[in-house]
Structure 1
Amino acid sequence: MSKKASPVAKIEPYTHPAAGWGALKSVTVNLIKERVPGAHYRALLRQNQPNGFDCPGCAWPDRKHASTFEFCENGVKAVAAEATGKRATPAFFEAHSVTALLEQSDYELEQHGRLTDPMIYDAETDRYRPIDWDDAFKLIARHLRALPDPNQAAFYTSGRASNEAAFLYQLLVRRYGTNNFPDCSNMCHEATSRGLPATVGVGKGTVTLEDFETADAIFVFGQNPATNHPRMLSELRECAKRGAAIVSINPLKERGMERFADPQSPLEMLTMSSTRIAGRFVQPTVGGDFALIKGIAKRVLELDDDARAIGSARVLDVAFIDAHTSGFDTFAADLRAESWAALVAESGVPYEQIDDLAGLYARSERVIVTWGMGLTQHKHSVATVQLLSNLMMMRGNIGKEGAGLCPVRGHSNVQGNRTVGIEEKPTPAFLDRLGRAFDFEPPRRHGYDVVETIEAMLEGHIRVFIGLGGNFAMATPDTPRTWEGLRRCALTVHITTKLNRSHLIHGRDALILPTLGRTEIDLQNGVSQGVTVEDSMSMVHMSYGMNQPASPNLLSEPAIVARMGHALFSDGEDGVDSVDWLGYGAGYSRIRDAIEASIAGFDDYNARVAHPRGFHLRVASREREWLTPSGKATFIAHALPSDTPIQRARARHGRRLMTLMTTRSHDQYNTTIYALSDRYRGVYNERRVLFIHPDDIRMLGFEAGQRVDLETVWDDGVERRAHGFLLVEYDIPRGCIGAYYPETNPLVPLDSVGDVCNTPTSKSVPVLIHRAAQSALG
């Protein structure tokens, strides 16, 4: 890539509503920048349509799969990135050594376009060379067979993998003999997946889109829909217009939750008008949600006490609590014993605001709570999610129309991957059913999650790493240590559509296996194949690609997994395997039949998914069936955290200690960087920025526009620094700062994880700010 002068960084507050003409301009720029062919422009009209392709971006559901323009700005960016006319061919790799490519930014790596051919690393020339597909699969099989223990291999999965690819992948891995399934869930909503089963019996949400039509109030915790799930704003817009109360609870006051101009509304577009979304903004300190939720619950209990004292209607749903729950008395006693002073101090939210939120919750008959990673990437994230479900149970807001729990997942099929078996801690019931369906004994030992995989790499216990999508080297915490672990592997394999940094941080042997994207036609034996995904609300639907493949030498993800299985099990000493791997790769309806036979809830899978909107996977807690040991929803009491890493660091460093939360810019999706700006936060042509309260800038002796370095405060003797961040004044609580990932992932210690869920605490990093050599803007 030719070197161009870097654009000048600019900080300029954004005063327009979210979406609107700004979104349409951004869409146009991205389509042009990616050199998307004209035929692929037309394919956008088939996005999220019956017999069309599903958006490869977020997991927010589509209401009808019928709107002509049912897509959003970031969805189009994801499609444009996949439908790009740019190509990274063997000639590209011949011209660029791995060492040279490592010097390029993540944004520059993204801009090289679609991979066209399978490649193998050649250490002698420090370049990737073409390799025949069969030879690639033989190399993988040879490495896996050479391991003395199957648990010395780890199999990563991105949330973009389809149900078909993910199911076949987990079958291959368990037939091989391990449950080592580090996946993107481990780094995002694992607190939800581990926390909710103990309270309501299922680690999924309990609402559908239809519930938003009748909700009286919607509490949005730790989430920025305008960037991460833009189509969600259309739903919230309709709720706001009919008078539902919407509350944004987030340390950062995000523009998208203030006003929204729907690009699909001719009236708003032509009149330059917009709709107010949230009527209340509450900004807890980073990590303060635990104390805030407990404070709301405590105040609701007090309001019920007041109602009982004067003989008025109860605030608590006593009938629901008595019939459907256990543990309420212990929970209530814990709330009564909690200090208001401690709750206010730890949440960073004044008592008056907590009282207001509790009053709104108590007055609303039907309440939905939604949350993102602002709740799940903390040390006490599981307890926080459980407190949130406790709060909802207090007024029976689970299992009734217009109310419920709504965790909003990231990638389009991260929830579906878990449903079909990408789980390092599988239940005995799942393994029993899988074993019966395929006549083998699955491994019972729990496998490694993401953090455990990195630790095992560093200790030499993981020798082979295979990634089904994603960008493991950049998505993970403690970046230098992750890279060291990957480089200790004997083999690293990445199944991917485009080049990213993980392909350059490789083992002794390394393969890049290019795959079809979801927007592309997938022909197997001349028949177009569809794949299925499960969205955040448990809807399973079909997706068919519409574009011609970027290269004739691409294979689909299911075909790649099938041919790996065939090479590993059918080409070896034992001959033919009992699993017809190539048969599954040749027709995905057969994979769906296998899912139906192996996993509860997928009855008549092929028939039901043929309906335009697919089908809803039953969620027992939505129907007030509680799959807990007691058979009831369970209130779980949690003490206010004390002696945390943040509290210990602050005791040592006082007000100079800052709590860092990592976040996305508007022009990125996970680790994929589409552009270098963040429109809604007023940042242009820059990613190394630090959002900080103006009073903290002055207290620390800095000025807005200076460059600073960040240093993690941790007790393991490892120095963790990130350099050259631009100080940007922002509406964020004192003592809290925000910055983009993956640039700040080197600051997250590998052993800084959430209790129970083992999720990296990327939203709770104790840091100090130091003056950098460069101190002027631009």
Structure 2
Amino acid sequence: MTGKESVRPPAKAAGGFGALLSSFHQLRVHGVVSDWASFLKANRPDGFDCPGCAWPEPKEASRMEFCENGVKAIAHEITSHRVDRAFFERHTVGELAQRDHYWLERQGRLTEPMRYNAETDRYEPIAWADAFQLVGDRLRALEHPDRAVFYTSGRTSNEAAFLYQLFGRLLGTNNFPDCSNMCHESSGVALGEAIGIGKGTVTIEDFEKADAIFIFGQNPGTNHPRMLAELQKAAQRGCTIVSFNPLKEPGLQRFTHPKHPVATLVGSSTPISSHYYQPLVGGDLAAVKGMIKVVLEREAAAPGTVLDQAFIETHTRGFEAVRADAMATAWEDIEANSGLTRAQVTEAAELYLAADRVIACWAMGLTQQKQAVGSIQTLVNLLLLRGNMGKPGAGACPVRGHSNVQGDRTVGIVEKPKPEFLDALGRVFDFDPPREHGLNTVEAIKAMDEGRVDVLFCMGGNFAAATPDTELTEAAIKRLDLTVHVSTKLNRSHVVTGKDALILPCLGRTERDEQAEGPQVVTVEDSMSMVHASRGHRRPAGAMLLSEPAIVAGVAKASLTHEGIDWDALVADYDRIRAKIAEVLPMFADYNRKIREPGGFYLGNSARDRVWRTQGGQARFSVHPLPENHLEPNQLRLMTVRSHDQFNTTIYGLDDRYRGIKGKRMVVFLNGEDMADRALEAGMRVDLISQGADGRKRKAEGFEVVPYELPRGCAAAYFPETNVLVPIDSYASRSFTPASKFIPVWLERCDV
């Protein structure tokens, strides 16, 4: 993109003038510099929901809630570049498969349905009706509905997701893996067991009331930039912010809000974290258990003055077992496992004890470890000790990624649906839904590899790039009879095809959605259970684009023999879809009226109200031993990360401004002493090698060594380039989330 590669010192603060320059560059790259109307409509009551992250909107939104990643996401979608039939006439799929992720996504918007021709190795135009019929014929011919897998991206709206899961269950399967399986599934499992609901308990208003905010395994400066505005306000009013992250991330240290012109021009910034701890990769559980040990030691020294005994006795169970476990855990083991000293852990615990109201935030640094569920439940234990659950300014805050990843789950995109949901779905639509649990993402890949799946249907996303064990996954996909991708832009998954393949192009969030009965809105749910409307205003990128609900309805009509559902009527007016959602899910009562209110409505949260929908009816303390993070001689703990010019697998550019990287992605961040031990110098090239339980070695080649401030024995590199190193059987216990934040690797010098 820049034509120049370099490594510079990491940035001292997030945001500021650099964010403005980077945003302007993205507008220029995509040919949309003058289209400010689109950005002024983002995250407005009368506009569209940003297609980026799921961070909620402030109650008092400014005219433009500036976010660098939001600008990139919108520019990426409204680009003037097009991938049309002429593009596919110029390029074979084999040629496209040699291109990198960045090049593919930069080519522009898809404009018409395409079918892969294996004889010519090219995509060729196909009429919508013929595409729907092709999918319908293949699905009806399956030996069993479970030989189809229906994947969903978190950008899919509530309306499309609800129709999608209805279609799949009418077909007869619960095979609904989705992107949650690869990110916050661990949060859902952990919280569901501990507090009875798999969602965070806080709202945006709680950030205004918290005395302390603890952040684990998250880099908001790159992944959730709008969160920095809330952290900045919290820091300015005196809230203590404590960060745990193996990498020193500028966004967790200092921040300049780009919409504040004076601060941006003079380069002044606000300190964010008052305390910053760098545990080992995989050391979070031990660090939190150490904090619990300190809290319990303080209580033992002054009984009745430290813990919230009334809360523990009334609302929880399992406390005594957690106390016994923590007190029996040796400090030497806590230090060795966490990588932090006893003094550091004690200091963090004292900060927790000094605050009456505490929020704990986390992201994939916690969820993508083998012990992820245990780490999150141990963090819940810490909150429960002092009643920091279900009171203003306190609670659990898993910070999710894609804009509607939480909403998709709420309306039924789940491979293990609850019986009451299936009962209601069957009652409303007059059928008997399948009851057998379906496949999650890891299980789906294994089933493809073993020949137990014939059709993969993807509603958005980039399945081939987002998933682990890249070589195994891509080989499994190529064995399928049919792959179908509903997409806005070209990506890696379109060039990793089954024997037959379709690309079905859809409207983006920014575009007008005109149906038979007029213009439509869709709805999304943010990370804090707020549901609001999204109304596109731009002319669609192509005359042949269909909305996601229309595509689902078209496939359903061609595939199903079930009568009684008027798919055309549902798509003609999305109010009808929302009315059906409300019939199935009582939390959406009066859905159509509520989403017409500015800002939408709150779905509620039982744990926030101290109603515990757990077995036993109380919040649950749970015991988790320190993990055995065994390494072979000379191995490092590799964690995958995003660059600043990236959102999930979508790569907007080749710079990582905050970490000092310009014009490249094939880098590995190493501790200076680890480099010296291996006779490595900055700029040298290495291959990264892992080995799974299957004994097979996996290799990611040609990474440039970059010295960085992180603990000894740890390393970091970008995904999806390093997904090849994550063995298919390396995942979090019980959640099956790939363990991308703890990959044991060796380094080998190479000459690339």
Q: Are 1:431 and 2:426 an aligned pair?
A: no
Q: Distance in 2 between matches of 1:641 and 1:710?
A: 24
Q: 2:355 matched to which residue of 1?
A: 364
Aligned to 1:295: 290
CA drift at 1:17: 2.0
- Aligned residue number for residue 304 of structure 1: 299
Structure 2 counterpart of 1:706: 684
Q: How does 1:278-677 map to 2 (within 5 A)?
A: 278-308=273-303, 314-525=305-516, 527-569=518-560, 574=561, 577-642=563-628, 646-647=629-630, 650=631, 652-653=632-633, 656-677=634-655
Residues in 1 aligned to 2:33 and 2:17: alpha-carbon distance in whole angstroms:
23
Cα deviation code 1:677-730 (max 9, x no counterpart): 100000011101000100000011111110000110333132200110011000
Deviations, residues 477-536 of structure 1 (Å, cap 9, x unaligned): 000100011101000000000000101101111000000000001111261111100000
Name the SS of the counterpart of 2:643 in structure 1: coil
**Counterpart Cα distance in 2 of 1:33 and 1:368:** 39
Match status 1:771 vs 2:745: no
Letter in 1 for 2:696: V
Aligned match for 2:727, one of 737, 741, 749: 749
Offset at residue 14 of structure 1 (A): 3.1
- 2:40 & 2:260 partners in 1: Cα distance? 17
- Give the structure 1 partner of residue 736 of structure 2: 758
State yes or no: 1:176 paired with 2:171.
yes
Q: Which residues of structure 1 form unaligned runs of 5+?
A: none
Partner of 1:30: 26
Distance across 2 between alignment mates of 1:461 and 1:448 = 11
Taking the aligned partners of 2:528 and 2:693, their CA distance within structure 1 comes to 41
Counterpart Cα distance in 1 of 2:199 and 2:19: 31
Deviation (angstroms), 1:16: 4.1
The amino acid across from 1:760 in the alignment is P
Relative to structure 2, which stretch is displaced further, 79-88 or 269-278?
269-278
Structure 2 spans left out of the alignment, 5+ residues: none
Q: Which amino acid aligns with 2:284?
A: D
Q: Report if aligned partners of 1:65, 1:612 keep a CA contact under 8 Å in 2.
A: no
CA distance in 1, matches of 2:431, 2:216: 44
Shift of 1:37: 6.6
For 1:630-665, what per-residue CA distance to the aligned partner results, in whole angstroms no more than 9, with x for missing partners?
A: 1111111112223xxx40xx2x42xx1101100100
Which residue identity is paired with 1:679? Answer: R
Partner of 1:224: 219
In structure 1, the residue matched to 2:261 is 266
User: Does residue 695 of the first structure (1) align with residue 673 of the second (2)?
Assistant: yes
| 1:735 partnered with 2:713 | yes
Distance 1:377 1:200 in 2: 21
Q: Which residue of 2 aligns with 1:47?
A: 42
Identity, % of aligned positions: 54
Aligned equivalent of 1:681, options 646, 659, 668: 659
**By how many angstroms is 1:267 displaced?**
3.3
Give the match for residue 76 of structure 2: 81
Aligned to 1:237: 232
Q: Which residue of 2 aligns with 1:9?
A: 5
Q: What is the SS of the residue equivalent to 2:22?
A: helix
Task: Provide Cα deviations, 1:87-128, integer angstroms capped at 9, x if missing partner.
Answer: 001010011100111111111101110000000001111100
- Is 2:205 the counterpart of 1:210? yes
TM-score normalised to the size of structure 1? Answer: 0.96
For residue 584 of structure 1, report the CA deviation from its aligned partner. Answer: 1.2
Q: How far is the alpha carbon of 1:760 from its aligned partner?
A: 0.6
1:271 and 1:719 map into 2 onto residues whose CA distance is 51
TM-fit CA distance, 1:266 = 3.0
Distance 2:5 2:671 in 1: 20
Q: How many residues align?
A: 752
The RMSD of aligned alpha carbons is 1.1
Which whole-Å CA distance do the structure 2 matches of 1:164 and 1:526 have between them?
A: 16
User: Contact 1:56–1:79 at 8 Å: present in 2 too?
Assistant: yes
- Aligned partner of residue 246 in structure 2, secondary structure: coil
Please state whether the residue corresponding to 2:586 is helix, strand or coil: coil
Secondary structure (helix, strand or coil) at the match of 2:234 reads: helix
| TM-score scaled by length of structure 2 | 0.99
Q: Distance between the aligned counterparts of 1:716 and 1:25, measured in 2?
A: 47
Alpha-carbon shift at residue 204 of structure 1 (Å) = 0.4
Paired AA for residue 556 in structure 1: S
Kept in 1, the 8 Å contact 2:66–2:258? The answer is no
Structure 1 counterpart of 2:15, which letter?
A
Cα distance in structure 2, aligned partners of 1:160 and 1:487: 25
Letter in 1 for 2:325: D
Residues 1:164 and 2:164 are matched in the alignment: no
Q: For the structure 1 residues 526 and 594, does the alpha-carbon distance in structure 2 shift closer, same or farther, using more than 3 Å as the test?
A: closer
Give the AA of the match of 2:189: R
- Counterpart of 1:80, as a letter, is A
